[in-house]
Each structure stands twice: as structure tokens, then as C-alpha cells.
Structure 1
Amino acid sequence: MSSRARFRNRFQLLAAVLVTVVQLPAVLWLCWHTRTPVPALVAVLVSPPYLRQLHAPWATTEPALSTYLALGWWAACAVFDVLMLPAALAVRAGTPFGVAWGLAGAIALVMGVDTVLGRPRLRRRAVRIEGLPPELDGYRIGQLSDVHCGPYASEKRVASWVARLNAQNLDLVTVTGDLITHGSSHVEAVARALGGLRAKNGAFACMGNHDYFTDGEHLVRQLRRNGLNVLRNEGKVIERGGARLYVAGVDDTWTSRDDIDRALAARPEGAPTILLAHDPDLFPEAQAREVELTLSGHTHGGQLGVPGVPRLSLGRFVTVWVAGLYRKGRSWLYVNRGAGTTGPPARLGAPAELTVITLRRA
């Protein structure tokens, strides 16, 4: 069996397990409470048609009616799991009715802010770098990650994120991978939208795993045609007031295209380095090579997590570098929660973001 076929089978198995886990608590409770098999029948009718469409993450499939029905059903089940079921169980255990449903209302408010508004937050961070030239003190870098342009993130929506970053009057703007969801249907759209990025020293991008769930070479050509500097195991020197900054990008780890040594090969001695690496698990390699700042994405901050505890989320099953700013020695890592989503277009406890990072002298 080829590696691609094995990956497809694992993807389908994971999708089936997630669908089952989300539905099971709600279905069992509703069947018991109503004394009928109707909830189970609904689950059986809704899920298989959608699962049959999931040939692989790189397959191009526009959402059918069955997709929207399935997403609606699973969203209702998820709300039930995290809101209605705990409150009902609390009441049965003797918790005062008002306290239980007040807690449920608070959870609903948090869920509403994260999933309904859907507007990425603008986060600002400062990173202090040892040996940073005075000319680069205050240098401002924008980061957009995990765009996932597709059925749930249209070209117009991506363009609105671009406009928000452009309004920050940045020195440099970066896009750290997963520009599309899958397939070829939105390649030109995302290239047009991201082609609108503007910064004093240009716009730079690296590839993510989803960017190879299509013809990756075609995507790169379209991005470059629209003005983006796509860095694939390579870098570029930027000068400002006589000081030099090295901006490098490493290719996708999932398809074993990454080569961090090649990406840093042209780094001038003593020049601070910004490394674009979609996968944050490359951070230890970057730190070993004394890269001052690595910008990553990939995790979506877990996409689903505990509100108020940003690093307690599903991302913990993927990596130790879930979201936010990390430091190891003199090297920094920023893991962006991303602007888009993958799978159901919902977030909990991991709000979407756009980031502006300011470099400061240590």
C-alpha cells in the first residue's frame, strides 16, 4: 500500500472517530430521555452520506446539501455535549437549577463569541532579541496563518483579513502556510486575495501541509504571479538603514520537503533571522541553529479547547507548541492560532487571530 493510500485511510478513520465521539453523548442521552430510537436514526441518516464524500483531505469536493445537514447536526450535538448535558447532569445531581443553567449560559456566551462572530482578533506581541541592530529596533512584522481559503473562507473574507493587516503600516508581512483547505477550486482566489498584502519590505510566505492537498507547484506559481515571495527552503536578505535582516522559509514537513539547513544557507553572519515554518515542531531545529524568531501556525490553537485556558486544547494531542509565544535560550517561537478553520467552521477557546510582532533590542 502506498504512503498516500495509508494517509487516506487514516484520514477517513480519524474523521469517522471524530464524528462518532461528537454524536455519541447526545444520541445516547436523547434516546434514553425520549425513549425512542429517533436520535440514533437521525445520526445514521446524516453521517454516512457525508463520510462517503471524504475520499481524502486533498480531494476537491464542494459542499453538498448532505454536508450542511451533517455540519448542522454535529454543531447541535457539540452544543449539547458542552452545554446542555453538563447542566442537565448537574441538576440531576442536586445542583440548584439557577446555578447550573447560569453556568451553561456563560459557556454559551463564550461559544458564541468564538464561533458566531468569526472575526480574527488582532494580537500584538513584542519580542526582545539579543544583538538586534538599533536600526531594527521597533521593526514590525505582521503574520497571517492557516487561511484555509475554501467553502468556509471565501476570497472576500480573506481579502478582509489582508486589509486589516495592511492598515497596520507594517515593515514586513508573512503568511505561514495552509493557504487553502484542499483541492484546486480556491487556488486562484487565495492568490488574488493574498496578492493584496502590502508592507514596506514586502510579503513573504511558506507552504503548509494543506498546500500540498492540491498541485502545490501550481499554487506557488499563482502566489508568485500575484506578488508574494514564496520561500521554499530559501531566504532573502532585507536591509534597513545599513542593518541586515534575514527572512527564511522552510517547506512542508508532512511531505518531507523541509530542509532547514538549505533555508539558512545564505544567512549573513550576525544577521538576525526570521524563519517561516508552518509546523512549530521545527522550533528545536531552529533553536539549535540560533534562529532568533520562528513564526509558525498549523495548530489553530487546537481550534477546540477550554475557554480561558488557551494552552489546554486539542492541540496538545499534536504538539507541545500549541499557541502563543515560547522562548528557548535566545530563540523565540510564535505559534499563530490562524485565521481560518479546518473541518467544521467553529472554534471554542481558541479564537482566530492576526498578529503584529514588534522586534525590540534585548
Structure 2
Amino acid sequence: MSRRTPIRSRFQLLAALLVTVVQLPVVLVLSWLTHTPVPGVFALLVSSPYLRQLQSPWHSTPPALSTYLALGWWSACLVFDLLMLPAWLAVRAGAPTGLAWGLAGAIAIAMGVDAVLGRPRLRKRVVRVPGLPPELEGYRIGQISDVHCGPNVPEERVASWVARLNALNLDLVTVTGDLITHGSSHVEAVARALGGLRAKDGAFACMGNHDYFTDGEHIVRSLEHEGLTVLRNRGVVVKRGAGRLYVAGVDDTWTSRDDVERALAGRPEGVPTVLLAHDPDLFPQAQARGVELTLSGHTHGGQLGVPGVRRLSLARLITRWTAGLYRQGRSWLYVNRGVGTTGPPVRLGAPPELAVITLRAA
């Protein structure tokens, strides 16, 4: 029998303490309401199987029913913790006790289920571009980001997201980095799935930091073998009649491979530009060079945040550009929350998404 590593044991202990803190208020309230120890026993039975198989913050075994049950339960507990004060105040104000606590519980359960089983939302946004050629009026650009193909995201799921984008009959489709979680085990799988992307003017990709958690050249070769154009500090001109669009991509910032100036070196004067940059912190550089639209990912919207308040998420720890659409002057940035996850397959208050950006003349 192999002995656990000290790092793994410490991580499991820390995770157990964290989920105990999250669950304890819920268990106490439910035990008080039901006058039984059943909530505590339930919490123990749900939590133990998942905690035992944890290896590190980013690695675990492929998810099973116990994984989704534990993560959904913990997510619901966290939401319920936040709703306890409003529920208590409602009771103090004269609301029926059962109604107040029951409504808090229903909201918590609904959000817990959505956190682990939620289907990617389709976000549609309009970006107005000064001097947009008439031929590009209404031009639709699809974006998929942060796929993180691996134990938590199999090839079949990626293929289902690809099918949703293909059904939209897009003009252009983009993939903005972090295609895998780590290692080489899922490189061919994600390349096969993303190779199914179809759009009138093609499919383009840029690299993310996770794509260098293995041999980055291997990923590039696999993607291009499946028909995607990988843009690493370079760009191409896409033509639609007499109208032209410059599509460029920047390489990874975390490994210092990024070069915005090189990516834009081939841009014809006066041609609108779409820049694929996995890291949204490159937006100020793009704006300084007059890039009309930058498409990014990387943040996952925090993976844990307050619904509808993009400033209140874990993404604020790494960037000011957390999620959604931003504008500075004539330059726009769209930060995609992505479809996969880093670490546990759970998203609370930061649902996965696919995006479609429509270009309109300013």
C-alpha cells in the first residue's frame, strides 16, 4: 500500500476544514429545524468520498456521481450561508418562519445544482466599430475559451459545444486559449473536437498558459492538423467582398511569449482588427495600438463570484478585466468566462459561456 505524500495529506486536511466551515451553519440550522442529527450525518456521507480522492488543488480523479453531489451540496451550503441573515431578518419582520427558510433553501439548492450541472450560456453582444466596411456590417464572430479538456472535460463534451457554435452559421469562430488542463493526454482529443468548428471565414486560435503545461508545439501541430489556424504573434487578412478584417493572435503572457507589436505588424492601414489574446491584461497594449476588438479568456469569471456583479469574484485577484464587455475609447474587450474549469468542476455565480460578437458600424 502506497503512503500518502505529506503535500496531499495537508491539502486534504485543508479542504476538509474549509468545507466543514461552509457546511456547519447549514447543518446547525437544519438540525434545529428538524430536531434530528440527520443533516450532520448526510453532510459527512456526501463529503467523505470526494475528500478522500483529492490529490491537489488542480488534480483529482475523473468526476463521478459523488463528485457532483459533494460539489453541488457545498455550493448550496455556501449560498445558504449568505442567505441566512436575510432569512432571519425576514422572520424578525414578521414573515412565516417556514416560508423564509424554505425560500432560502430553494434558492441555495437551485444554485448548487446549476453550479455543477449548468449548461454554457450563449452570450450575444454587439460591438460598434468606426469605419466598418459595409460588407462587414452584421459580421458575427463566435468565441469559445478555456476548454480545459482533461479528466473533468472529455472530448465528447467539447464536441457538443462545437456543435452549438456550428449551428449558428457564424462568419468567423475563435478559440482563445487554455485548451487543456495539463499534460499531453488530451491534446489529440481536444484538437479533434475543436477541429470540427465551422464558419464561413474559418476557425482561429491563440495559445493560453495551460497550453504550455505540456509541449506547446505539440498542441499547435495537432490543432493545425485538424484545420485550425493558430495565431502566435501574427495575423491574417480575412476578406468579405471589398471589405477586409485583420485577425491577429498573441502568444502566452505567463511564459513571456507575447508580442502584441509583432502580432499587429502585418495589419493594413485602416483595416478593422480583431485580436485574440488569452490574457485580458494585454488590452491596454491593444488599445494603445488602435485595436478595435480584443477577445480574451483566462479569468473564468472567477469560477466563484456573486451572480450579476462581475467585480465581486475571485478573478479580481488576478485582473481588473474579470468578465464580459469593456470599452475604452474606440477599443472594445470581451472577456469570455470560458466553458471548462480549473480544479474542481464547479462554477458558482460565474456560469460557463459561449459568445457571439456582432460587428456593427459606429
TM-score (norm 2): 0.83
Q: What is the CA-CA distance between 1:77 and the residue it aligns to?
A: 3.2
Report what 2:21 is aligned to.
24
C-alpha distance in structure 1 between counterparts of 2:313 and 2:12, whole Å = 18
Report what 2:76 is aligned to.
79
Q: Which letter does structure 2 place at the counterpart of 1:188?
A: E
Report what 1:292 is aligned to.
292
Indicate how the Cα distance of structure 1 residues 266 and 298 shifts in structure 2: closer, same or farther if over 3 A, else same.
same
Q: What is the CA-CA distance between 1:243 and the residue it aligns to?
A: 2.1
Tell me if the contact between 2:50 and 2:66 (Cα under 8 Å) persists in the aligned partners. no
C-alpha distance in structure 1 between counterparts of 2:148 and 2:282, whole Å = 21
Q: Which letter does structure 2 place at the counterpart of 1:127?
A: V
Report what 2:234 is aligned to.
234
Within a 5 Å distance, the mapping from 1:115-134 to structure 2 comes to 115-116=116-117, 118-134=118-134
Report what 1:4 is aligned to.
none
Indicate how the Cα distance of structure 1 residues 86 and 169 shifts in structure 2: closer, same or farther if over 3 A, else same.
closer
C-alpha distance in structure 2 between counterparts of 1:133 and 1:158, whole Å = 34
Q: Report the count of equivalent residues.
A: 347
1:318-352 alpha-carbon deviations (Å, 9 max, x no partner): 21111111000110000111112222212222221
C-alpha distance in structure 2 between counterparts of 1:301 and 1:102, whole Å = 27
Q: Which letter does structure 1 place at the counterpart of 2:281?
A: D
Report what 2:256 is aligned to.
256
Within a 5 Å distance, the mapping from 1:178-217 to structure 2 comes to 178-217=178-217
Report what 1:336 is aligned to.
336
Indicate how the Cα distance of structure 1 residues 205 and 17 shifts in structure 2: closer, same or farther if over 3 A, else same.
farther
RMSD: 3.4
Unaligned runs of 5+ in 1: 1-9
Report what 1:109 is aligned to.
110
Report what 2:161 is aligned to.
161
Within a 5 Å distance, the mapping from 1:136-147 to structure 2 comes to 136-147=136-147
Secondary structure of 2:247's counterpart equals strand
Deviates more, 1:146-155 or 1:323-332: 146-155
C-alpha distance in structure 2 between counterparts of 1:143 and 1:321, whole Å = 17
Report what 1:151 is aligned to.
151
Percent identity for Structure 1 against Structure 2:
62
C-alpha distance in structure 1 between counterparts of 2:14 and 2:318, whole Å = 16
Q: What is the CA-CA distance between 1:46 and the residue it aligns to?
A: 6.2
Within a 5 Å distance, the mapping from 1:257-276 to structure 2 comes to 257-276=257-276
TM-score (norm 1): 0.83
Q: What is the CA-CA distance between 1:88 and the residue it aligns to?
A: 8.8
Q: Which letter does structure 1 place at the counterpart of 2:258?
A: D
Q: Which letter does structure 1 place at the counterpart of 2:313?
A: S
Q: What is the CA-CA distance between 1:13 and the residue it aligns to?
A: 9.2
Tell me if the contact between 2:74 and 2:112 (Cα under 8 Å) persists in the aligned partners. no
C-alpha distance in structure 1 between counterparts of 2:238 and 2:79, whole Å = 48
Q: What is the CA-CA distance between 1:139 and the residue it aligns to?
A: 1.1
